[in-house]
Amino acid sequence: MPPGPRACPAPRPGRRAPRPRRHGEPGGHGVAPASAEEGERAVRDRNLLQVQEREQPILWKVQFNLGNSSRPSNQCRNSIQGKLLITDELGYVCERKDLLVNGCCNVNVPGTKQYCCDGCLSNGCCSAYEHCVSCCLQPNKQLLLERFLNRAAVAFQNLFMAVEDHFELCLAKCRTSSQSVQHENTYRDPIAKYCYGDSPPELFPA
């Protein structure tokens, strides 16, 4: 009999995660080191709002359903930054300790789950960044993301013109969605604050 549905891995409350080991440090086995390219992408995302208005229409180049055709089949990109959880480009969420050296989640671990939407609301906002990315990577989210790209505000162009595929778009969308911010450093929903959708929660009273 096939195994039943797996529950998504979740951070354990009350436990402080140790600092992830860097490549070459003792105990660093099994944690894929961040590449220079991934570090540059994180910096680029943080510069989201440093844009200039353009009169020309935005030409989006995001491609869906690329798989890993341009990358080694045994390598995965992943969300990097999570202290407890990691999402790889195939949509699997796992605990950091279950991340393989090739950057992929270990799918043989019971806690690893693909396309995890636990803690995500119907508006596309989630309580965990890694669950947001994983849920966003579902193939059926493509139309939602394309609709967002087609009517994205100019303020998003510096970020979203730079991403090239479904995975990069989900990383950026969940990390930098200013739609979920009511005031500077204040989220509309303090719990479900990582959003891949285009319909954020109603504004809370100030």
Note the pLDDT tens digit of each residue in 95-135: 999 999 999 999 999 999 999 999 898 888 899 999 999 99
CA distance 121 to 52: 33
84 phi and psi angles, rounded to 5 deg:
-115, -40
pTM flag (> 0.95): no
Q: What is the pLDDT of residue 51?
A: 39
SS3 60: coil
pLDDT by residue (tens digit) across 27-50? Answer: 444 445 556 665 666 565 555 433
Q: What is the pLDDT of residue 38?
A: 59
Contact between residue 91 and residue 112 where contact means Cβ atoms under 8 Å apart: no
Contact between residue 12 and residue 84 where contact means Cβ atoms under 8 Å apart: yes
CA distance 155 to 84: 31
- 143 confidence band (pLDDT: 50, 70, 90): confident
